[in-house]
Amino acid sequence: MITVHHLNNSRSQRVIWMLEELELPYEIKRYERLPTLMAPPELRQVHPLGKSPVIEDEGRVIAESGAIVEYLVEKAGGRLGAPDDVEGALRYRHFLHYAEGSLMPPLLLKLVLSKVPIMGRFAMKRIQPMIDVHLDYVESALKQRQWFAGDDMTAADIMMSFPLEAARARAGLDRDRPKTISWLTKIQSRPAYKRALQKGGPYAYG
């Protein structure tokens, strides 16, 4: 059985959702953030980086959201994987990595700067235009198709969920981008998503 090392209000919520979508058996080991919002030191006993998400399966310890998602797609025989057509497969690969590689860093930077008095507020004004470029790009992609890779939901959509939920909570994603808001409503209404919320516990971006 897969063990999910789950940190509250973290990217590991996506892993629980994906496992629910795939109907793979799993168990959750919970960790709570410190008052500094950092992960507790116990996670370093699982993986040297001390971060979440991390899963254990068949003696393997697998870290990094994208690597975990790709591992689960393979374990499930390709379910939620890339579309069969070349263009869809390229979109799948792009958004699978875009979520953490390009979209998440400025959102994280804005969060960090929000904790810095005075100078942080000034710097955030420089960050928001960078975030808006990404949010406009996402909106344009969802104007062309229902899901990020094509006609059906894939693991790329699961990867995109956390940064877009974070953007809605603290980075200006609102009704001015109706296709993205509609996409968020759609994923959050899925039964597997709701089950994942119940099992994962409080989630500030859900």
| For residue 137, pLDDT beyond 60 | yes
Model confidence band, residue 120 (pLDDT cutoffs 50, 70, 90)? low
Q: What is the CATH number of domain 2-80+192-200?
A: 3.40.30.10
Is residue 183 within 8 Å of residue 142, measured between CB atoms? yes
User: Please, where in the chain does CATH 1.20.1050.10 lie?
Assistant: 86-190
User: Please, where in the chain does CATH 3.40.30.10 lie?
Assistant: 2-80+192-200
pLDDT digits (tens, 9 = 90+) for 32-50: 888 887 889 999 999 999 9
Question: Dihedral of CA 45/51/52/56: which sign?
Answer: negative
Whether pTM > 0.75 for this model: the answer is yes
CATH architecture of the domain formed by 86-190:
Up-down Bundle (1.20)
Distances (CA, A) of 43 to 5, 55, 145, 161: 8, 11, 39, 24
Model confidence band, residue 9 (pLDDT cutoffs 50, 70, 90)? confident
Model confidence band, residue 119 (pLDDT cutoffs 50, 70, 90)? low
DSSP annotation of 117 reads S
| For residue 130, pLDDT beyond 70 | yes
